[in-house]
Chain A
Amino acid sequence: MSLPLLDIRGLAVTIPTRDGERTAVSNVDFSVQRGEVVGLVGESGSGKSLSMLAVMGLLPRHFGISGSIRFDGEEICGASERRLRALRGKRIAMVFQDPMTALNPVKTIGTQIVEMVRLHNPGLSRRELRAKALSLLEAVAIPAPERRFDQYPHEFSGGMRQRVVIAIAIANDPDLLIADEPTTALDVTIQAQIVEIFARLREERGMAIVLITHDLGLVAGLADRMSVLYAGRVTERGPVEPLFATPRHPYTASLLAAVPSIDDVSERLHAIPGTPPSLADRPPGCPFEPRCGFAVSACRMSEPDLLRFDRSVVACHRAGELSLATLMQEPA
């Protein structure tokens, strides 16, 4: 395998609180190849957004960050603001969750796109900038871009705004696009269109995409590989298909089972009992142990290491037991 575009190793984020440091993300490894779509899946608070904010250098200054984040071979964890600024927008771009707030409400969308293009291409003339901005609007399938150019964000629907947000993000053909729950705030038909745009970006521009989401359908449709995070740790990581077919970690399996299926005729939805552990009281063993239907005494004693199985990596003491994999097909 060639050098990964983004290579995170042993990333840990600690948040100082009145009662001492709380570890929100620990020992996360994560890599993205050029042109690859990687899903980062987990519940709210599992650390998926924190890890990506760490990549962008957007975490508050008082948070503790350790580990290594390499972008295209260059260490950017703890890099200077100046260095990060040169990467941001030009080589790494980000799409935020809520398109309602991610655009500046008092500027036309044309101005906002032009600003982003000009920031990294200072030499362009007014006309070139406008042409480039219009072509970006076209690239994200906004009808009548000429007319839309001079409109304000509040004149756009949610889906249209998210397209504009994406247009701004891809303004300088970044190598890596980090999408933080890009479809969560949108309704389902719009979600499909956004997914289509992502798929085309990857195909036509060879853009690598990190999809932060809790929507497993989105990951299944778009991603090549995925990482599942739980309580700030990687629980399972691997290519999407085998992971969906035969999850090895009980948490992954529960997540898959929790997705309502149209074929499922049972009356109840499959929820995972309990809630993720709070930052304050992490159990000494496996963080998923209190909610896990397969926990044994070993799970309470020590945290499982990441072990390799076939093409994926799993952090579970019982991942080796084949019976487990089959058991999980029919969750209790």
Chain B
Amino acid sequence: MLFSPARTLERPRPRLSASVGRFVRHLGWRQAPVIFAVAVLVSLVVIAVTIPWWTPYDPIGLAGRRLQPPSAAHWLGTDALGRDVLVRTLYGARYSLPIAVSVLIVAVGIGVAVGALAGFLGGIVDNVLMRLADITLAFPPVLLAMAIAASLGPGLVNTALALIIVWWPIYARLMRAQVLNVKKLDHVDAAIVGGVKPGRLLVKHIMPLCWSPILVNMTMDVGQVILLAAGLSFIGLGAQPPTPEWGQMIAEGASNFYCWWIALGPGMAIFLVSLSSNFLGDALRDVSDPRGRQ
């Protein structure tokens, strides 16, 4: 669809509205994954917030006979201790989602600050900070997270700490690359020539142009963080029983392997959230990067 020049001029905030318009104009099947992703994530958040008010069973209390296959009373069956798997899975969103979001927010905060300083100041600061990031990145992420979580002791907070330590270097690198690119643009020179001080230059003139890849990456990483957190819980380093955390639940399912339904609920939940966050990230990238669009 073409719009007339007159209309473009009148739009008050066309950057945003143009992006939204482009988004909406994505046709049929192109839009489907995004709608799916948003629907899954929004309903999970709503469920996680409201579940105590409408759940028929206690997530850590007895709900029925143990190891029951799916039935009308227990849609996803019961586990080895007779707890309802569906209710526990839905309660799990109260642990996994906040962990993913808080880990990402802190990791991005650290990464962005480090990357921005390294890219902006260059020289020794750049070298020291980035070598630090390289050292962290040199370890396989799962192994490093395991080592940290193990040394800090099991528990959700320590898992989060371990994940933050594993994740910040990725954002530091991303931000540094962005800052290095934006720093070369003319408007930054123009600001220097206008007498803008370095701190303000970085925060007001360079960083506002650096966000879009960070945001895209964050969205995609939500799934990754949940996966790794679940992995740590699975091997016993994360949430401890009886917490209805997804990874932990799968671990319980693994010890009753013939009762396939115990691991099905949390497994599907992890799968859906990771998939949705990837869909959302893909869509965000398409919208923010005109070169990737067809």
A: residues with CB less than 8 A from B are: 56, 58, 85-90, 93-94, 96, 98, 101-107, 115-116, 119-120, 150-152, 154-155, 165, 168-169, 171
A102 surroundings in chain B (CB, below 8 A): 186-187, 189-190
Given contacts A96-B186, A101-B186, whether A89 and B193 have CB atoms under 8 Å apart is yes
Are A119 and B196 closer than 8 Å at their CB atoms? yes
Are B190 and A152 closer than 8 Å at their CB atoms? no
Given contacts A102-B186, A102-B187, A152-B14, whether A119 and B205 have CB atoms under 8 Å apart is no
Closest residue to B193 on the A side, CB-wise?
Answer: A94
B205 surroundings in chain A (CB, below 8 A): 104
Closest residue to B205 on the A side, CB-wise?
Answer: A104
Are B192 and A88 closer than 8 Å at their CB atoms? yes
Are B9 and A58 closer than 8 Å at their CB atoms? no
Are A155 and B9 closer than 8 Å at their CB atoms? yes
Are A88 and B193 closer than 8 Å at their CB atoms? yes
- Report the minimum CB–CB distance from A279 to chain B (whole Å): 22
Are A96 and B194 closer than 8 Å at their CB atoms? no
A119 surroundings in chain B (CB, below 8 A): 194-196
A96 surroundings in chain B (CB, below 8 A): 186, 189-190
Whether B291 sits at the interface, judged by CB under 8 Å, is no
Max chain B Cβ within 10 angstroms of own Cβ: one of A104, A107, A116, A168 = A104
B186 surroundings in chain A (CB, below 8 A): 96, 98, 101-102
Whether B49 sits at the interface, judged by CB under 8 Å, is no
Taking A102-B186, A171-B194 as given, write out 17 further A-B residue pairs in contact, using a Cβ cutoff of 8 Å, ordered by the A residue number: A58-B192, A86-B195, A88-B192, A89-B193, A93-B193, A94-B190, A96-B189, A101-B186, A101-B187, A103-B190, A105-B187, A105-B209, A120-B195, A150-B12, A152-B14, A155-B11, A155-B14
Pick 23 A–B contacts, CB within 8 A, sort by A.
A56-B192, A58-B192, A85-B195, A88-B193, A88-B195, A89-B193, A89-B195, A90-B195, A93-B194, A96-B189, A101-B186, A102-B189, A103-B187, A104-B191, A105-B187, A105-B209, A119-B195, A155-B8, A155-B14, A165-B190, A168-B190, A169-B194, A171-B194
- Report the minimum CB–CB distance from A168 to chain B (whole Å): 7
Whether B109 sits at the interface, judged by CB under 8 Å, is no
* Assembled-state Cα–Cα distance A74/B197 (Å): 22
* Assembled-state Cα–Cα distance A151/B10 (Å): 9
B204 surroundings in chain A (CB, below 8 A): 115
* Assembled-state Cα–Cα distance A58/B192 (Å): 8
A116 surroundings in chain B (CB, below 8 A): 194
B193 surroundings in chain A (CB, below 8 A): 56, 58, 88-89, 93-94
- Report the minimum CB–CB distance from B100 to chain A (whole Å): 28
* Assembled-state Cα–Cα distance A116/B204 (Å): 12
| Partner of A152 from B15, B185, B191, B208 at Cβ < 8 Å | B15
A168 surroundings in chain B (CB, below 8 A): 190, 194
A152 surroundings in chain B (CB, below 8 A): 13-15
Closest residue to A156 on the B side, CB-wise?
Answer: B9
- Report the minimum CB–CB distance from A167 to chain B (whole Å): 12
Question: Which residues 12-52 of B sit at the A interface, judged by CB distance below 8 A?
Answer: 12-15
B194 surroundings in chain A (CB, below 8 A): 88-89, 93, 115-116, 119, 168-169, 171
- Report the minimum CB–CB distance from B119 to chain A (whole Å): 16
* Assembled-state Cα–Cα distance A86/B187 (Å): 19
Question: Which residues 192-238 of B sit at the A interface, judged by CB distance below 8 A?
Answer: 192-197, 204-205, 208-209
- Report the minimum CB–CB distance from A166 to chain B (whole Å): 11
* Assembled-state Cα–Cα distance A103/B208 (Å): 13
* Assembled-state Cα–Cα distance A87/B195 (Å): 7
B189 surroundings in chain A (CB, below 8 A): 58, 96, 102
* Assembled-state Cα–Cα distance A169/B197 (Å): 16
Closest residue to A103 on the B side, CB-wise?
Answer: B187
A90 surroundings in chain B (CB, below 8 A): 195
- Report the minimum CB–CB distance from B28 to chain A (whole Å): 29
Closest residue to A168 on the B side, CB-wise?
Answer: B194
A56 surroundings in chain B (CB, below 8 A): 192-193
B191 surroundings in chain A (CB, below 8 A): 104
Closest residue to A97 on the B side, CB-wise?
Answer: B186
- Report the minimum CB–CB distance from B8 to chain A (whole Å): 7
- Report the minimum CB–CB distance from B288 to chain A (whole Å): 12
| Partner of A107 from B9, B11, B12, B208 at Cβ < 8 Å | B208
Closest residue to A152 on the B side, CB-wise?
Answer: B15
A154 surroundings in chain B (CB, below 8 A): 14-15
- Report the minimum CB–CB distance from B79 to chain A (whole Å): 51
- Report the minimum CB–CB distance from B122 to chain A (whole Å): 10
